[in-house]
Amino acid sequence: MSSLTRTTAWQALAGHHAHVVQTSLPQRFAADPERFSKFSLRACGILLDYSKNHLDHDAMSLLLALAQQAQLPAWIEKMFVGEPVNSSENRPALHSALRNRSDAPVMVAGRDVMPDVRRVLAQMRQFTTALRSGEWRGYSGKRITDVVNIGIGGSHMGPSMVCAALEPYASEPRVHFVSNVDGAHLATTLKTLNPETTLFIVSSKSFTTAETMANAHSARDWLLSTTKNPDHIARHFVAVSCNPQAVAHFGIAAENRFEFWDWVGGRYSLWSAIGLPIAVSIGMDHFEAMLDGAYEMDEHFRHTPLAQNMPVILGLLSVWYINFFDAQSFALLPYDQSLRLFADHIQQVSMESCGKSISRDGESVDYATEAVIWGGAGTNGQHSFYQLLHQGSPFIPADFIAALETHYPTGLHHAQLLANFIAQPEALMMGRVEEGLPAHQHFVGNRPSNAILFQKVTPRSLGALVALYEHKTYVQSVIWNINAFDQWGVELGKELAQVILSQLTAAGSEASAALPDRAGDTPPSPQHDSSTSALLEVCRAALIRP
């Protein structure tokens, strides 16, 4: 057994689980009409109703004891003050500094980083104001009408989710996103765009990310196929990167590079200059309102006692279900079309952060550290995967998310949406088993969920909501004693892809249509198994076919 599973708090929770499951959720509500008021929280304009969970007061007390045992309050403070909580890379994780709206300094290695943060925010404001006003023009003197963000992972998912969520605040130029190295993604995006009126944001911390740079070079070729003049790149490309040399080599002017720092993790970076496409779309005033909302959640998370702390409660519930109920997945179900990409973003935040099996102490863990995060917009999901939630065999806790108001004059539509938002958690909890009904129409119920409700999807409320899930993820990582801020697991596939790419590229350049003799071929990587080698041969044959 690991050091965690041997602890008193863990063992007490394991024992109490057997007691909790003896009482169903409908029985708990029948026994306590005040259950909602006892198991709900309000913070930062958000209501969290967690009453439909397999909890009693003893379970909640034991979960809070587990948090204290893990020294969660101390770990929260370590993150905010810039200690190297990213232990494998010896770095802080200071996404909170990016949205620090106070005058308080944030120190990294004895240096206050806030002047740099404010400098980049000012640079973003100057650029986006020029672009949105029409002052910034393309090489032919025409106004920029379209901006294409080229990035992947955290340089794509967060900004694209926010731009979709805050579309009611958007104005020209139109913002597009390209991430997939599949050339179809770039080609279909550029199909209706004009090189004279298109600007590209290339977002890569290292400016060497393979997929991003392949798309960036193709975008540059597309521009130069029209203008023929490399000097015009400076009017149509800007970069968000930590690598000024690589940016300059690409042809982007130094003043058009937006900096961010190695203490910003990619999946937590939408608050930095990685959020430049957000600022282009909605303007800097709204971008900074989003920072305000996130800062408010930061302050709540940092200073509120654990029992009333919304990210802490959500994080502890995840630990409760993953480790003691064997939950293999969680569903995120936003009842707002603008939040249709929210689950995709939080999937990366949570699964890339907590998808670890080695503790901070270098010990292999013997407990689960994360479940599959998935979901989609209601009510679409009700006609698709909700069947699994209601009558399937897996145990899948769910978060239902909704706004009381909509930006659009569709009162009847929104009332119907909210009716389903309320009805679905009730149906999951209550079920239906009636005499005379055939067995296939029975719903066992007793399935847990949270309801998260706020007034309206605004920059401020969205900032608070995203920060809520970021901090929830950190809570889980602290309990599990893992590093939430590295992602070494993504590296091996990248390395092998580069080996294979060199072989495929060499094959494609050969003049002969015949496959090269294996004896004279480039030796495969030691990691290639027989199936990999066979696939490689098929790909090579396709590339060198005349």
Could you give the residue numbers annotated as active site? 352, 383, 494
3-state helix, strand, coil in the chain (%, to 5): 55, 10, 35
188: part of which helix (H) or strand (E)?
helix 183-190
Show the 3-state SS of 317-331: HHHHHHHHCCCCEEE
Rounded Cα–Cα distance for residues 134 and 173 (Å): 9
Helix axes of 114-133 and 284-303: crossing angle, nearest 10 degrees: 150
Q: How far is CA 314 from CA 289, 319, 417, 421, in A?
A: 24, 9, 24, 19
Strand partners, 237: 200
Task: Locate 414 and state its tokens.
Answer: 């929104």
Grouping H, G, I as helix, E, B as strand and the rest as coil, residue 175 is strand
Rounded Cα–Cα distance for residues 241 and 253 (Å): 13
Helical segments of 481-529, H only: 491-508
Torsion, Cα of 58, 61, 63, 68 (10° steps): -160
Task: Locate 19 and state its tokens.
Answer: 């007691």
Is 92 in contact with 85 (CB distance < 8 Å)?
yes
How far the first Cα of the chain sits from its last, in Å, is 60
